[in-house]
Amino acid sequence: MYTKSVMLIVASAMITINVYAGATEDFHAKASQKVKTLVKKHNVQIVGYQHVKEAVGTGIRKVAKAVIIDARPSKKYQMGHIPSSLSLPDTKFDVLYEETFKGVAKSKEIIVYCGGYACAKSPKLAGMLLQKGHTNVNVYAAGMPQWNNNNYVEIDVNIAKALHDKKMTLFIDSRPYGKFTQGTIIGSLSVPDTKFEDYKGFMPTDTTTPIVTYCGGYDCGKSHKIARNLVAMGYTNIKVLASGYPSWKSAAYPTTATNITKKKIPSTVSDVKTFLKKGEDTGTVDGEWFVKNFKTFPKTVTLVSVMSPEEFKMGHINGSINVHAENVKPKELLSALPETGEIVFYCGTGVRATEAWAILAEDLQYKDIHRIFYLDADIECNKNNACSIKPHEPLGI
């Protein structure tokens, strides 16, 4: 692996950006101007998929070759992230930095990523890390979209539980069979990593089948090994519960070794009747319903683009207003919104919309959060405001 300097033209000025061989062409063609500008400003190096894959190694955090950081909102991280990576949203940097990098040498390689070539959170966070004195900070600009298309991801235990509840995902316990018999996640298939070849014939014929593998926790590499084997076989929807069976037990979720009755979830403000149809995931508007109905919403519903003014000018959903949520404080965000009616945050990928909602719900603990929603979808709008909206599949969390 070697480094190549690539000349790019940004805002009519010639700049030099350090890019690892293999990542050059895509970065040049796909990265947004904002991302290129931030990369130049902070003088960080761009790395590609293969470099990140080698850094991930076996997937176990403590032996990864680099500290891999997810700069997206924590909810997006929980739903799927690069194996071994840690969550450090750029908006939570001051709060979480010390805990995240406790004991990490300033010379240790750090790889930061977010939602792809148009996501500026990773170079922004890279700049913050450089200001803290870290000397080897790289950016994986292709980020989560490219990784997700090529490899398996890690998920948090609450996401695993949501998938388990849907009963549409195959759970694989990769621990030794003796451990499996002592207690496992209900419905799991026992596939010890050392016996994988013997169990290949039991795998689903549909390679798009959702599969979650797990073992004994963050220090256990068996689930990662099974995941890599499945990816090699052509399976495209593989997830690893890296915290493993211990986290499932600690959360008091049902296992074969227990007889736990599902607790009734208490009613909350989310039970308040609204015009907008609620999505399965907390805080969301139902994506499919939104696509069918947003053009005829009453005036009591305000659509809010939380993207930058520059992005807003390039195209947005007709009738929406623009509040650049990343550039305002929580109380300023709230004050910029209509005091009555219902509100839907949106952006290009759902990442920043999720974050804006979380600022009000979690940081401000806004008492009328029931009237605030976010649209979790990929949205592309042209200069004529013609938009393609593709909702993400809800997980029921």
Q: What's the pLDDT score for residue 21?
A: 53
* Domain formed by 153-250, architecture: 3-Layer(aba) Sandwich (3.40)
Q: What is the mean pLDDT of the chain?
A: 90
CATH number belonging to domain 3-149: 3.40.250.10
**What pLDDT sits at residue 271?**
61
- Determine how many CB atoms are found less than 10 A away from the CB of residue 386: 11
What integer pLDDT is reported at residue 7 of this predicted model? 43
Residue 215: predicted pLDDT: 94
Domain 272-391 sits in which CATH superfamily?
Answer: Rhodanese-like domain (3.40.250.10)
Amino acid at 249: K
d(CA 121, CA 90): 6
User: For residues 99 and 344, what is the distance between their CA atoms, to the nearest angstrom?
Assistant: 33
Q: Same topology for domains 153-250 and 272-391, yes or no?
A: yes
Single-letter amino acid code for the residue at 258: T
Residue 197 has φ and ψ, to the nearest 5°, of -60, -30
pLDDT tens for each residue of 78-127? 999 999 999 999 999 999 999 999 999 999 999 999 999 999 999 999 99
Distance (Å, whole) CA 376 – CA 145: 15
Q: What percent of the chain has pLDDT over 70?
A: 91
pLDDT digits (tens, 9 = 90+) for 169-222: 999 999 988 889 889 999 999 999 989 999 999 999 999 999 999 999 998 999
Tell me which DSSP letter residue 191 carries.
Answer: -
pLDDT greater than 60 at residue 13:
no
Per-residue pLDDT at 194 = 87
Residue 15: the pLDDT is 40
pLDDT at 266 over 50: no
Write down the pLDDT at residue 3.
Answer: 45
Residue 237 has pLDDT above 80, yes or no: yes
| Residue 248 scores a pLDDT above 80 | yes
Any idea what DSSP says for residue 286?
P
How far is Cα 44 from Cα 115, in angstroms, rounded to an integer? 18
| DSSP string across 53-77 | HHHHTTS-GGG-SSEEEE-S-HHHH
Q: What pLDDT does residue 30 have? A: 93
Which pLDDT band holds residue 25 (cuts at 50, 70, 90)?
Answer: confident
Sign of the CA dihedral running 388, 270, 243, 202: negative
For residue 370, the model assigns a pLDDT of 95
Separation CA 265–CA 289 (nearest Å): 25
Band (pLDDT 50/70/90 cuts) for residue 258 is: low
pLDDT of residue 4: 43
Q: What is the mean pLDDT of residues 121-137?
A: 97
Q: Hey, which residues does 86 pair with through a beta bridge?
A: 69
Query: What is the per-residue pLDDT for 9?
Result: 38
Instruction: Indicate if the pLDDT at residue 28 is higher than 90.
Output: no
pLDDT at 301: 97
Residue at 248: amino acid letter: W
% of residues, the chain, pLDDT over 90 = 78
pLDDT bracket for residue 14 (50, 70, 90): very low
pLDDT of res. 71: 98
Question: pLDDT value at position 273?
Answer: 81
The encoded tokens of residue 83 equal: 């194996």
Name 54's Cβ contacts closer than 8 Å, sequence gap at least 6. 1, 65
At residue 11, does pLDDT exceed 50?
Answer: no
Phi and psi at 170, nearest 5°, equal -85, 125
Cα–Cα distance measured from residue 45 to residue 19, given in angstroms and rounded to the nearest whole number:
6
**Domain boundaries along the sequence of the chain:** 3-149, 153-250, 272-391
Q: Which backbone phi and psi does 119 adopt, to 5 degrees? A: -95, 120
How is residue 88 written in tokens? 């450090």
pLDDT of residue 22: 61
Cα–Cα distance between 354 and 347 in angstroms, integer? 9
- Gap between the Cα atoms of 67 and 55, Å rounded: 8
Residues 11 and 203: their CA atoms lie apart, in Å, by: 52
In the chain, what's the furthest Cα-to-Cα distance? 66
Coil/strand/helix, residue 178? helix
Measured CA to CA, the distance from residue 96 to residue 111 in angstroms comes to 17
H-assigned helices in the chain: 24-30, 33-42, 49-56, 74-79, 93-100, 121-131, 143-150, 157-166, 177-182, 196-199, 222-232, 244-250, 287-293, 309-313, 330-335, 351-358
pLDDT of res. 19 = 53
Mean pLDDT in residue range 139-155 = 97
